[in-house]
Chain A
Amino acid sequence: MTAPVPPSDGADLLDRQTAAGSLHAAGQWALIWHKFRRHKVAYASLILVGLIYLVALFAEALAPSDPGKFDPRYTFAPPQAISLFAPDGAGGTRFVPHVTGFDITLDQQSFRRVFVPDPDQIIPIGLFVRGDPYRMWGLFDTDLHLIGPLDPGQPMFLLGADRLGRDLLSRIIHGTRVSMSIGLVGVGLSLFIGMVLGGVSGYYGGLTDRAIQRVIEFIRSIPTIPLWLGLAAAMPKEWPPLQVYFAILVILSLVGWTEIARVVRGRFLSLRTEDFVIAARLDGVSEYRLIMTHMMPSLYSHIIAAITLAIPNMILAETALSFLGLGLQPPIVSWGVLLQDTQNLRAITQAPWLFAPGVVVVVAVLALNFLGDGLRDAADPYEK
């Protein structure tokens, strides 16, 4: 047994720590990231959420066609599968990425179009093809699409078509922009109200705190769906879609801020009595500086987690309202608007692919929830 070095408080310990390297000069974000990465599901969700927002950002270029482009010939056309090889006519196969066209017949009894895939109709598709023209971010005109048929006139419905023969995939991609941004912007608005009221409530306490808390409890006790319905019904019908969009945002935020206000208040209450906050006060730090530089940084990570958990609620609320026809209205495309098509029996029996927007909602909401969970766990890297 060798005698170890007696524990010392001096330079050798520091040297060892420096040799161990890594996180000693790491700030809170580096530590949060370090802890977050260990949460595998949340990490995967982060990537997924990132992808979803990329889709929202580049919707026009990613969508194969214009979301409003309709073709009565292809009413309720089923999804087409992509194949990479086609017979070359000489008995062999050649590499042609394509979808197969349809043999369309009209069922004389039900007056329904019957689509039968016709392997002889090969519709070649490609990446970065010319298609419907659009204006990217309102900056420049182009007609380049990531994926699409080489001949813009030919049909390609990777997720099928709706009752007007519009491409569902394109519509979902465009809906992503509206639905995901309503979550983000709506939470931004509730964050502002929530931080101010929650901060005031937690920092000053006493009567102010009690008043704000009672308001929060009152708002939370109102059943949300009837409240939204009432507010949405109060919107004049003649408002342009964009104005409706912002009105919906405000309505959602008016309820959404309460959760964030509670998180912020709770953190302020516990931070107020922390030794390091008292120490800062004894340094003579002014109240403003105390809040902004000593207390706020401890809140950021918690707030981000709260936001991430609030976005899915916003998305769900928007989807529900739009589904009921009280939220956004066509021609604005959102996931909820798309789901309006599934309200009748015909959709279920004839065109089950119309539920695809619902699947997308589930995926997006789950990913955001997992991400929020992971962030909440990693939010305080100094906890033991």
Chain B
Amino acid sequence: MTDILLKVRHLSVDFPLQKDIVHAVRDVSFDLRRGETLCVVGESGSGKSVTARAVMQLVAEPGRIVAGQVHLAGPDGDTDIVALGNRGAAIRAIRGRRIAMIFQEPMTSLSPVHTIGQQIIEMIRLHEKIDKADARRRAAQLLDRVRIPDPEAALDRYAFEFSGGMRQRAMIAMALSCNPEILIADEPTTALDVTTQAEILALIRGLQQERGMAVLFITHDMGVVAQIADRVLVMYQGRMIEEAGVFDLFAKPREAYTRALLGSVLKLESPGPRPVRPQTEQAVMAISDLCLHFPLGQRARAGGSVKAVDGVSLTINTGETVGIVGESGSGKTTLGRTLLRIYPPTSGQVTYTRDDGSKVDIATLSKTQMKALYGEVRMVFQDPHASLNPRMTIARIIAEPLRINTALSDREIRDRVGQLLERVGMPTDIGDRYPHAFSGGQRQRIAIARAIALRPRLIVADEPTSALDVSLRHQVLDLMRDLQTDYGLSYLFISHDIAVVRYFCDRVAVMKNGRIVEIGDVAQICEHPGHPYTKALIGAVPRPDPTLRPDVQIRVQA
């Protein structure tokens, strides 16, 4: 028996559309050896997920494998998975039993109407003829193996009772239930918080070493690659660009694309150039003891409520960028939205200093008084696909705030829209197109153009880069910084990504459960975090440097 478990040769997958064919995967060949982790990395649309699904014969309609073979080594010779077709007993005997897969969304890949135990037991009994009690015992062992506390009780619980990380563990337990030789993990940690991600990565790595499984790991995150990969396959537009060992790839990437990709990742590893802060700070917004409590359905009468924002005090100075970091559910997005009165705060003050020096308390303003501030305090949303009305042209979207808040003529508005597009680095003649014609990065530029149309003084930016590919992130951040220098803007920059915050912010506040646990200078928080939560958060961020891996460190010490 050879060491090579899976041989993929000249694999091509096409998606025939109405008029043309999208070549999602073009002529990809690689080997997967026993006990190794092969990372397939690429940006969105690079064909990495389709490659993984093709190995399982799970390509979604109307996609088809048009060429190539996938040889799975077995005790009696190789089996070509492509030749098996995508239905029938032969491929089902391989799926789950010899090759198992875990998906990105643990929320949707587990059945909501069956207990975790039922799902794992079904999986075991599908492939092995053992009775229910034995299968249940095996399932409990598996849950224990993926470190779910109290596995016996967990078997009888439903997926919605578990957190995202626990669900992903249950998914892994299910995938491992038949001792597969190959585990395909399709962005298994993308939907998880960074501390949970670190735990799941450690778990996958541990299980792999214990069982000698081969892991095909799909990700877009170079940090994750550096943490987990043995070898790396870089994909771009359906093609294999480069294949190398993880240390070689990070130390001396051969191809221009890999260099560019690593460059944009590494650029975010160090603080970007920041304008020097003035001696005396002038506050543009002072938040003091802000609270937002959502009453909890039936328990509302008993005083039960979710404290989404729980006594936050924070000052944003003129021309300053203040970052808010925290995991999902920490209340950072709610805080940003409360500042614009999208949600009315329960208590506290938000003192905003207007251009003429007068102060207003946003927390108590009426609707009409608030309208006057919409031109000065603006917002940039996380998902540029959702924040631009798909039924309006770009010109209309950007012109909307001008049309409402200024007395400009149609002609002046058109000129101004052109200038704005130019300012955010877009061609000026795209006004008659619709948002769907643009990529995520371009759309975010358009959203920024809309935000700066009225010359605001403060922009609340809610994860403006997290929906973007890594190579686009620093471009958007650089654009935002240029605008800041030009217009003297202040930003409240909400993000879950420490790297982005370190690159872009002056100060940073760390939020947990609706409270700020630590606030301070970016460099100080990132290098010398004081609060244990901040330490855990920063320690869990996967660094795009394979030499910093725990196992490598141990080897070096030994």
Which residues of A are in contact with B by a Cβ distance under 8 Å? 1, 3-4, 6-7, 9-11, 13-14, 17, 23-28, 31, 34, 38, 274-276, 278-286, 289, 294, 297-298, 382
Docked Cα-Cα span, A289 to B371, in Å, equals 14
Would you call B390 and A382 a contact (CB within 8 A)?
yes
Residue of A nearest to B476 (CB): A9
Would you call A1 and B240 a contact (CB within 8 A)?
yes
Residue of A nearest to B387 (CB): A275
Choose among A7, A26, A27, A31 the residue that contacts B471 (Cβ–Cβ < 8 A). Answer: A7
Would you call B241 and A284 a contact (CB within 8 A)?
no
Docked Cα-Cα span, A297 to B397, in Å, equals 14
Question: How far apart are A64's CB and chain B's nearest CB, in angstroms?
Answer: 43
Would you call B434 and A27 a contact (CB within 8 A)?
yes
Choose among B404, B437, B450, B471 the residue that contacts A24 (Cβ–Cβ < 8 A). Answer: B437
Looking at A7, A11, A289, A382, the one whose CB has the most chain B CB atoms below 10 A away is A7
Docked Cα-Cα span, A297 to B471, in Å, equals 35
Looking at B240, B389, B404, the one whose CB has the most chain A CB atoms below 10 A away is B389
B472 within 8 A of A: yes
Would you call B404 and A283 a contact (CB within 8 A)?
yes
Which residues of B are in contact with A by a Cβ distance under 8 Å? 18, 43, 236-237, 239-242, 255-257, 260-261, 340, 342, 371, 374-375, 378-379, 381-383, 386-393, 400-401, 404-405, 425-427, 430, 432-434, 436-439, 441-442, 445, 447, 450, 469, 471-472, 475
Question: How far apart are B453's CB and chain A's nearest CB, in angstroms?
Answer: 9
Residue of B nearest to A279 (CB): B387
In the complex, which residues of chain B have a beta carbon less than 8 angstroms from the beta carbon of A28? 390-391, 434
Docked Cα-Cα span, A24 to B435, in Å, equals 8
Choose among A278, A298, A382 the residue that contacts B436 (Cβ–Cβ < 8 A). Answer: A382
Residue of A nearest to B405 (CB): A284
Question: How far apart are A165's CB and chain B's nearest CB, in angstroms?
Answer: 54
Docked Cα-Cα span, A289 to B381, in Å, equals 21
Known: A3-B256, A275-B387. A284 touches B439 (CB 8 A): no
Question: How far apart are A216's CB and chain B's nearest CB, in angstroms?
Answer: 23
Choose among A24, A38, A284 the residue that contacts B434 (Cβ–Cβ < 8 A). Answer: A24
Known: A27-B391, A282-B342, A289-B404; 19 extra A-B contacts, CB below 8 A, are A4-B257, A7-B43, A7-B260, A7-B471, A9-B425, A14-B427, A25-B437, A26-B434, A27-B393, A28-B391, A31-B436, A38-B18, A274-B386, A275-B386, A275-B387, A276-B390, A280-B389, A284-B404, A294-B392
Docked Cα-Cα span, A85 to B375, in Å, equals 81
In the complex, which residues of chain B have a beta carbon less than 8 angstroms from the beta carbon of A286? 404
Docked Cα-Cα span, A275 to B342, in Å, equals 11
Question: How far apart are A245's CB and chain B's nearest CB, in angstroms?
Answer: 38
Would you call A294 and B389 a contact (CB within 8 A)?
yes
Would you call A4 and B239 a contact (CB within 8 A)?
yes
Docked Cα-Cα span, A369 to B231, in Å, equals 55
Question: How far apart are A168's CB and chain B's nearest CB, in angstroms?
Answer: 44
Known: A3-B256, A284-B375. A9 touches B434 (CB 8 A): no
In the complex, which residues of chain A have a beta carbon less than 8 angstroms from the beta carbon of B255? 1, 3
Would you call B441 and A276 a contact (CB within 8 A)?
no
In the complex, which residues of chain B have a beta carbon less than 8 angstroms from the beta carbon of A382? 390, 436
Docked Cα-Cα span, A11 to B379, in Å, equals 26
Docked Cα-Cα span, A294 to B378, in Å, equals 19
Known: A4-B239, A24-B434, A282-B374. A9 touches B383 (CB 8 A): no
Would you call B469 and A7 a contact (CB within 8 A)?
yes
In the complex, which residues of chain A have a beta carbon less than 8 angstroms from the beta carbon of B340? 282
Question: How far apart are A6's CB and chain B's nearest CB, in angstroms?
Answer: 4
Docked Cα-Cα span, A10 to B426, in Å, equals 7
Known: A4-B257, A24-B433. A279 touches B450 (CB 8 A): yes
Residue of A nearest to B394 (CB): A25
Looking at A6, A38, A279, A297, the one whose CB has the most chain B CB atoms below 10 A away is A279
Question: How far apart are B343's CB and chain A's nearest CB, in angstroms?
Answer: 11
The 4 lowest CB-CB distance pairs between A and B, nearest first, are: A24-B437, A6-B260, A275-B387, A3-B256
Would you call A278 and B342 a contact (CB within 8 A)?
yes
Choose among B241, B386, B400 the residue that contacts A283 (Cβ–Cβ < 8 A). Answer: B400
In the complex, which residues of chain B have a beta carbon less than 8 angstroms from the beta carbon of A7? 43, 236, 260, 469, 471-472
Show 21 residue pairs from A and B whose CB-CB distance is below 8 angstroms, ordered by the A residue: A3-B256, A3-B257, A4-B237, A4-B241, A6-B257, A6-B261, A7-B236, A9-B442, A17-B437, A23-B436, A26-B434, A27-B393, A275-B383, A276-B388, A278-B342, A279-B379, A279-B387, A282-B374, A286-B404, A289-B404, A382-B436
In the complex, which residues of chain A have a beta carbon less than 8 angstroms from the beta carbon of B378? 282
Question: How far apart are A342's CB and chain B's nearest CB, in angstroms?
Answer: 45
Choose among A9, A34, A289, A298 the residue that contacts B441 (Cβ–Cβ < 8 A). Answer: A9
In the complex, which residues of chain A have a beta carbon less than 8 angstroms from the beta carbon of B441? 9
Would you call B430 and A6 a contact (CB within 8 A)?
no
Choose among B236, B400, B426, B447 the residue that contacts A4 (Cβ–Cβ < 8 A). Answer: B236
In the complex, which residues of chain A have a beta carbon less than 8 angstroms from the beta carbon of B237? 4
Docked Cα-Cα span, A34 to B434, in Å, equals 15
Residue of B nearest to A298 (CB): B391
Residue of B nearest to A29 (CB): B391
Docked Cα-Cα span, A276 to B380, in Å, equals 11
Docked Cα-Cα span, A278 to B427, in Å, equals 27
In the complex, which residues of chain A have a beta carbon less than 8 angstroms from the beta carbon of B445? 9
Would you call A284 and B442 a contact (CB within 8 A)?
no
Residue of B nearest to A37 (CB): B18
Question: How far apart are A93's CB and chain B's nearest CB, in angstroms?
Answer: 49
Question: How far apart are A178's CB and chain B's nearest CB, in angstroms?
Answer: 37
Docked Cα-Cα span, A17 to B436, in Å, equals 11
Residue of B nearest to A30 (CB): B434
In the complex, which residues of chain A have a beta carbon less than 8 angstroms from the beta carbon of B401? 283-284
Would you call A6 and B256 a contact (CB within 8 A)?
yes
Docked Cα-Cα span, A167 to B242, in Å, equals 78
In the complex, which residues of chain B have a beta carbon less than 8 angstroms from the beta carbon of A38? 18
Question: How far apart are A299's CB and chain B's nearest CB, in angstroms?
Answer: 10
Docked Cα-Cα span, A1 to B254, in Å, equals 11
In the complex, which residues of chain A have a beta carbon less than 8 angstroms from the beta carbon of B257? 3-4, 6
In the complex, which residues of chain A have a beta carbon less than 8 angstroms from the beta carbon of B430? 14
Would you call A282 and B379 a contact (CB within 8 A)?
yes
In the complex, which residues of chain B have a beta carbon less than 8 angstroms from the beta carbon of A298? 389, 391
Docked Cα-Cα span, A9 to B439, in Å, equals 8
Question: How far apart are A20's CB and chain B's nearest CB, in angstroms?
Answer: 9
Question: How far apart are B428's CB and chain A's nearest CB, in angstroms?
Answer: 12
Choose among A9, A275, A279, A285 the residue that contacts B404 (Cβ–Cβ < 8 A). Answer: A285
Question: How far apart are A123's CB and chain B's nearest CB, in angstroms?
Answer: 51
Question: How far apart are B527's CB and chain A's nearest CB, in angstroms?
Answer: 31
Known: A25-B434, A38-B18, A280-B400. A275 touches B381 (CB 8 A): yes
Question: How far apart are A259's CB and chain B's nearest CB, in angstroms?
Answer: 24
Docked Cα-Cα span, A279 to B387, in Å, equals 7
Docked Cα-Cα span, A281 to B472, in Å, equals 28
In the complex, which residues of chain A have a beta carbon less than 8 angstroms from the beta carbon of B471? 6-7
Residue of B nearest to A276 (CB): B389
In the complex, which residues of chain A have a beta carbon less than 8 angstroms from the beta carbon of B433? 24-25
Looking at A24, A27, A284, A297, the one whose CB has the most chain B CB atoms below 10 A away is A284
Docked Cα-Cα span, A297 to B434, in Å, equals 14
Question: How far apart are A15's CB and chain B's nearest CB, in angstroms?
Answer: 9
Residue of A nearest to B472 (CB): A9
Docked Cα-Cα span, A294 to B396, in Å, equals 11
Docked Cα-Cα span, A373 to B441, in Å, equals 35
In the complex, which residues of chain A have a beta carbon less than 8 angstroms from the beta carbon of B393? 25, 27
Would you call A276 and B437 a contact (CB within 8 A)?
no
Question: How far apart are A378's CB and chain B's nearest CB, in angstroms?
Answer: 13
In the complex, which residues of chain A have a beta carbon less than 8 angstroms from the beta carbon of B43? 7
Choose among B371, B386, B450 the residue that contacts A284 (Cβ–Cβ < 8 A). Answer: B371
Would you call A285 and B236 a contact (CB within 8 A)?
no
In the complex, which residues of chain B have a beta carbon less than 8 angstroms from the beta carbon of A9? 425, 439, 441-442, 445, 472, 475
